[in-house]
Chains A and B, each alone.
Chain A
Amino acid sequence: MNVEISGPRILLSIPQLGGFVLTESVVITWVVMLVLVLLCRFLTKNMQVRPTKKRQVIAEWMVTSIQGLVKNDMGPRFVSTGYVPFIGALFALSAGCSISSVFGVKAPTSDLSTVLGWAVVVFILITYNKIRSGGIGGYLKSFTEPVFVMTPMNLISEIATPLSMTFRHFGNIVSGTVITALIYGGLAALSHGVLGLIPGALGKTLSQIPIFQFGLPAVLSLYFDFFSSFMQAFIFCTLTMVYIGGAAGD
C-alpha cells in the first residue's frame, strides 16, 4: 500500500532547445485531439440536407446546443462568428482531457500548465475585445475608473480573471485525483488489515489482494470523472463566454 501523488511525468527533455521538456500531459492532449478530430470526421461523413443517419442528428444537436449557449451568454450577434467553433472546441477539449482519466492515464487537466494555457488564450481574447470595443485609449482609461486611486486594484482584478479560471478548473480535477488516490490507498490498507486477521497462510495470501477496492471507487469515478469533467468544461466555457461578451460591450 503506497499512495503516490505527483505531477506529470517527463517523457523527453531536450536541453539544447532551452530546456524543452515533453510531458505526459502534452502527449495525452495530442491523443485526445486526435480522437476528437476522428470523431468529428466520423460524425460529419456523408451529410445530407435531410438527415437520414443517426450520427448526423448527433452532430447537428451538438452544433445547435453550442450555438444556443453562445446566443444565451454572449448575445445573438455572436452566433455567426468564429466564437461558436472556439467555444465548442474548448468544451470538447476540456471534457475530453478530463475524461481521459477513465482510461487510467493522468488527466492533462490535472496539470496546471494545460489549463493555464487555455486561460491565457481566453485572456488574450478578452483584452482584444476590450480594445476593439473601446479603443486603446478607452482600454487604458478603464483601469482608472471609478477613481484614479483604484488603478492597482483594477490591475489585480484583471490578472485575477485568468488565474481564478485556471485554479477553479485545475483544483476541481486535481482534488478528484487526490481523493481517488487516498481512497484507493485507504481501502488497500483496510483490506490488508481485516483479511490479515484470518489465521494461517490463507489470511496471509488473502490480505495481499486489496479486495475492498472493488465497488466504491467506481461510484466515485462516476462523479469525479464524468460529472465533474463535464461540469468544469461547461463552467470554463460559460465564464469564457460571459467575460468575452462583457468585454465586447453592446
Chain B
Amino acid sequence: MDTQTTMILAKAIVAGLSALGAGCGMSGGIGPGIGEGYAVGKAIESMARQPEMRGTLTTTMFMGCAVAETTGIYSLIIALILIFANPLIGYFNF
C-alpha cells in the first residue's frame, strides 16, 4: 500500500471508531434517566402526601433534575465533539 491509501485507511478507522465511541458514550444518558425518574417519583409521593407543598416541591424537583442531568449532558458534549469536531482525525492530516 502506498502512503495515501494508508492515510485514508487510518482516517476511516478513526472516523468509524469515533462514531462507535460517540454511540457508546451516550450510554451515559442511562444514569441521569434513572436518577431523574427516581427523583420525580419521590416528588410525586411527597406531593400526594402534602398537596399544599406542591409549588416548592416542583421547583426543587426541577432544580435537582437539572443538576442530576449534568453527567448526561457531559456525555452528549463528548459525543457531539467526536462527531462534529473530531480532534483525532487531525493527527492524519500530513
Report which A residues bind B (CB closer than 8 A).
Answer: 5-7, 164, 167-168, 170-172, 174-175, 178, 231-232, 234-235, 238
Chain B residues within an 8 Å CB radius of A178:
80
The CA-CA distance from A172 to B84 in the complex, in Å, is: 17
**Beta-carbon contact of A164 and B70 below 8 Å:** yes
**Beta-carbon contact of A167 and B70 below 8 Å:** yes
Residue B92, interface by CB 8 Å:
no
**Beta-carbon contact of B73 and A168 below 8 Å:** yes
Chain A residues within an 8 Å CB radius of B8:
none
Looking at the assembled complex, report how far the CB atom of B78 sits from the nearest CB atom of chain A, in whole angstroms: 10
Nearest CB in chain B to that of A238: its residue: B63
The CA-CA distance from A235 to B69 in the complex, in Å, is: 12
**Beta-carbon contact of A235 and B66 below 8 Å:** yes
Residue B38, interface by CB 8 Å:
no
**Beta-carbon contact of A231 and B66 below 8 Å:** yes
**Beta-carbon contact of B62 and A167 below 8 Å:** no
By secondary structure, the A interface counts as helix
Q: Give me 6 other A-B pairs in contact (C-beta within 8 A), A168-B73, A235-B66 excluded.
A: A167-B73, A168-B66, A168-B69, A171-B77, A174-B80, A235-B63
The CA-CA distance from A231 to B74 in the complex, in Å, is: 18
Count of chain B residues with Cβ under 8 Å from any Cβ of A? 11
**Beta-carbon contact of B70 and A168 below 8 Å:** yes
**Beta-carbon contact of A167 and B63 below 8 Å:** no
Report which B residues bind A (CB closer than 8 A).
Answer: 62-63, 66, 69-70, 73-74, 76-77, 80, 84
**Beta-carbon contact of A171 and B62 below 8 Å:** no
Sorted nearest first, the 4 A-B pairs with minimum C-beta distance are A171-B73, A235-B66, A171-B76, A167-B73
**Beta-carbon contact of B77 and A167 below 8 Å:** yes
Assuming the A-B contacts A5-B84, A164-B70, A168-B70, are A231 and B62 also in contact, with contact meaning beta carbons closer than 8 angstroms in the complex? yes
The CA-CA distance from A5 to B85 in the complex, in Å, is: 12
The CA-CA distance from A6 to B74 in the complex, in Å, is: 19
Looking at the assembled complex, report how far the CB atom of A181 sits from the nearest CB atom of chain B, in whole angstroms: 12
9 pairs across A/B with beta carbons < 8 Å? A5-B84, A167-B70, A168-B73, A170-B77, A171-B74, A171-B77, A178-B80, A232-B66, A235-B62
